[in-house]
Amino acid sequence: MKEQIIFNLKQVHNRIEEACKKTGRNPSEVQLLLATKTVSAENIRIAIETGEKLIGENKMQELRDKDSVLKNLNTERHFIGHLQTNKVKDVLKYVTCIQSLDRLSLAEELDKQLQKKGRSLDVFVQVNTSFEESKFGLPPSQVLTFIKEIKQFETLNLKGLMTIGLLDVDKEKMRPSLQLLRQIRDEILDTNLANCTDLKLSMGMSQDLELAIAEGSNLVRIGTSIFGNRFLGKEIWNENITE
Ligand SMILES: *Cc1c(COP(=O)(O)O)cnc(C)c1O
């Protein structure tokens, strides 16, 4: 397993570099986040020891279960799954960023808990750019209003936008959902809605990594291509299922 993970990581870095080269981008503009749902703490450790740092978890339970190993390693943990409001307090114990901010009630609860702790938090707003019912995230048409609304929360540092693109065997079917995230980001910056000059795009997974980089991704979230298939039967984007 160890050799396999190390080999796969090299492959993924090669893919990122190739994709950057093809599109004239600098690989330093694209960060790799390891999507580690269902991956054991020991396998995550192998990746961290090769020099990775950033990991993303989808479920509170997994953050808690792996913490005894991960807290001693040099990692930065992000939350990338659907977050129930009643789990905010617990999740904040482990993560420095929530990439799945998708509703005002969640922003309010985050702000409340962060104020209590006297700290702030990086966030990405998750957008449902594939228009699939099964996916979480704000409808694209509501993003600008939402960005204005969350400006009131000084504890939340808006870092960018996140999407789970449409996955399909046909590349050209996948591209529009990635382009859309970029368009929304550009509109926010052009209109200076968020009072900032830079917002990152978190998009690209094992299947659409190259396309996402071509469309401007700054942060790719990769699970399967590094740790293998999860054999779940059902994909877990969210933290409601199987807990
Ligand atoms: C699982 C997951 C990924 C990674 O998907 P792979 O296809 O395994 O690379 C990326 N983002 C989110 C939000 C995920 O839940």
Torsion of CA 222, 228, 230, 233, to 10 degrees: 100
Three-point CA angle 219, 106, 101, nearest 5°: 15
58 lines ligand 1 (CB under 6 A): yes
Distance 117 CA to ligand 1 centre (A): 30
Residue 127 located in a structural domain: yes
Which positions ≥6 away from 39 have C-beta within 8 Å?
Answer: 223, 227
205 lines ligand 1 (CB under 6 A): yes
Which positions ≥6 away from 26 have C-beta within 8 Å?
Answer: 20
Distance 152 CA to ligand 1 centre (A): 31
In 73-120, where do the E strands start and end? Answer: 76-79, 97-101
Q: Atom of ligand 1 at shortest distance to CA of 237?
A: 15
Residue 172 located in a structural domain: yes
pLDDT at 135: 84
Residue 91 located in a structural domain: yes
Q: How many domains does the chain have?
A: 1
pLDDT at 63: 98
pLDDT at 232: 61
Distance 35 CA to ligand 1 centre (A): 6
- Region of 139 please: left (phi>0), alpha (psi -120 to 50) or beta: beta
Residue 119 located in a structural domain: yes
221 lines ligand 1 (CB under 6 A): yes
Nearest CA to 212 among 25, 10, 4, 7?
25
Q: Which tokens hold the place of 88? A: 């905010």
Residue 80 located in a structural domain: yes
What whole-number distance in Å separates Cα of residue 227 and Cα of residue 205?
Answer: 13
Residue 236 located in a structural domain: no
Residue 215 located in a structural domain: yes
What CATH number is attached to the domain comprising 222?
Answer: 3.20.20.10
What whole-number distance in Å separates Cα of residue 12 and Cα of residue 101?
Answer: 27
224 lines ligand 1 (CB under 6 A): yes
Which amino acid would we find at residue 38? T
pLDDT in tens, the chain (243 residues): 899 999 999 999 999 999 999 999 999 999 999 999 999 999 999 999 999 999 999 999 999 999 999 999 999 999 999 999 999 999 999 999 999 999 999 999 999 999 999 999 999 999 999 998 888 999 999 999 999 999 999 999 999 999 999 989 898 999 999 999 999 999 999 999 998 899 999 999 999 999 999 999 999 999 999 999 986 654 555 544 433
Distance 20 CA to ligand 1 centre (A): 20
pTM to 2 decimal places: 0.94
63 lines ligand 1 (CB under 6 A): no
pLDDT at 208: 96
Q: Atom of ligand 1 at shortest distance to CA of 162?
A: 13
Residue 240 located in a structural domain: no
Give the residue numbers spanning the domain of 208.
2-227
pLDDT at 133: 85
